């Protein structure tokens, strides 16, 4: 009995003893001066859209075909792709629905180019010609389209992130 008590006593004392946390000084392995030297132009807070590189892309004006309950609905012809659409959100609950009629390609590529890189905007959903919805996505979208017909791109606020929703942006569709 005494031997077992002598064996158990140090184990009990050791297991009940709380370890005092040591204050560790955590440092990042990347030095700030190196980080700023290695950033890309696309990492900057104010992303400038270079329209010169989009000369072959047709530009659509920002006059909406229809505005209904905060949704801006634009209808474009799939035969006119690639194109660039300039738009502006003035309210935090707005959405842009791009209806692409006569889409005949097997895949769709699109990207959102906000004037302010802090803008909280993304592709919320895509509706394929077979009636199926998919999403959410980010600012870049590459999607296989199962058959010819009308494709919808629904663009709006990212509910999982913070940032400004109002502002100017462009949507490039290829």
pLDDT tens-digit readout, 12-50: 666 665 555 555 444 444 444 444 444 444 444 444 444
Q: Look at residue 123 and tell me whether its pLDDT is greater than 60.
A: yes
Cα 69 to Cα 71: distance, rounded to the nearest angstrom: 6
**Does some domain include residue 126?**
yes
Tokens for 11, please give them. 């184990």
Q: Answer yes or no: is 66 within a domain.
A: yes
On whether residue 20 sits in a domain, the answer given is no
Confidence of residue 71 (pLDDT cuts 50, 70, 90): confident
**The sheet that has 71-77: what strands, in order across it?**
66-68, 71-77, 95-103, 149-156, 122-127, 133-134
Q: Is 31 part of a structural domain of the chain?
A: no
H helix runs in the chain, sequence order: 2-16, 32-37
Confidence of residue 54 (pLDDT cuts 50, 70, 90): very low
CA distance 173 to 49: 15
Q: DSSP character for 132?
A: -
Q: Domain containing 109 — which CATH number?
A: 2.60.120.380
Which residue segment(s) compose the domain that 84 sits in?
Answer: 46-173
Total number of domains constituting the chain: 1
DSSP output for 9-26: HHHHHHHHPPPPPP----
Whole-prediction pTM:
0.62
| CA-closest candidate to residue 85, choices 71, 101, 70, 96 | 96
């Amino acid at each position: 009995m005494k031997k077992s008590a002598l064996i158990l006593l140090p184990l009990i004392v050791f297991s009940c003893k709380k370890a005092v946390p040591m204050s560790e000084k955590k440092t990042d392995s990347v030095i700030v001066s190196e980080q700023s030297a290695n950033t890309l132009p696309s990492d900057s807070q104010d992303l400038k859209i270079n329209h010169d590189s989009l000369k072959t892309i047709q530009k659509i004006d920002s006059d909406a075909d229809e505005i209904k309950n905060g949704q801006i609905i634009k209808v474009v012809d799939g035969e006119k792709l690639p194109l660039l659409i300039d738009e502006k959100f003035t309210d935090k609950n707005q959405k842009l629905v791009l209806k692409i009629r006569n889409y005949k390609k097997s895949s769709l590529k699109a990207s959102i180019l906000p004037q302010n890189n802090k803008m909280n905007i993304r592709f919320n959903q895509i509706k394929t010609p077979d009636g199926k919805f998919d999403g959410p996505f980010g600012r870049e979208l590459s999607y296989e389209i199962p058959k010819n017909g009308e494709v919808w791109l629904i663009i709006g606020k990212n509910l999982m992130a913070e940032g400004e929703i109002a502002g100017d942006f462009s949507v490039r569709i290829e």
